[in-house]
């Protein structure tokens, strides 16, 4: 059974991530005690967690966590307003980040924990 959007939200809430808004299929979360945004995007039936492209140097390490899978290309969405923009396929620039999918809630917890460790140094 695959991980649901609701299960990811439950895990994020349990880890004290606070939700700022939900527009269409994108929810913005702030990591606990930090001013770092991550976005939860519902793509088809697969929930994706999107982080800033500045963390690309850690992408390989994060993808080695058990149950964590990095998406190959950048993820673009206009609702991810705290992220930088770049031109993708359209005329104007759009916000983008690095997308990850997860096998289970333990993988989400491990991912968030490691991301917090990376940020806090």
pLDDT tens across 100-120, in order? 999 999 999 999 999 999 999
**Cα(26)–Cα(97) distance, integer angstroms:** 13
pTM, full prediction: 0.93
pLDDT band at 1 (very low <50, low <70, confident <90, very high): low
Model pLDDT for residues 7-37, shown as the tens digit of each residue: 999 999 999 999 988 888 899 999 998 999 9
- What is the predicted pLDDT for the residue at 72? 85
Q: Give the Cβ contact number of residue 94 at 10 Å.
A: 17
Model pLDDT for residues 59-101, shown as the tens digit of each residue: 999 999 999 999 989 999 999 999 999 988 888 999 999 999 9
Q: What would be the CATH architecture of the domain defined by 5-120?
A: Alpha-Beta Complex (3.90)
**Cα(18)–Cα(112) distance, integer angstroms:** 13
Domains of the chain: which residue ranges?
Answer: 5-120
Helices (DSSP H) in 1-121: which residue ranges? 5-14, 59-63, 105-120
């Amino acid at each position: 059974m695959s991980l649901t959007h609701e299960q990811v939200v439950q895990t994020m809430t349990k880890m004290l991530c606070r939700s700022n808004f939900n527009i269409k299929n994108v929810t913005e979360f702030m990591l606990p005690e930090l001013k770092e945004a991550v976005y939860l995007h519902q793509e088809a039936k697969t929930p994706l967690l999107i982080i800033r492209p500045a963390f690309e140097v850690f992408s390989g390490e994060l993808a080695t966590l058990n149950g964590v899978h990095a998406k190959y290309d950048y993820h673009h969405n206009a609702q991810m307003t705290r992220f930088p923009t770049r031109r993708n396929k359209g005329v104007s620039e759009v916000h983008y980040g690095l997308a990850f999918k997860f096998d289970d809630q333990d993988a989400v917890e491990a991912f968030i924990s490691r991301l917090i460790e990376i940020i806090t140094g």
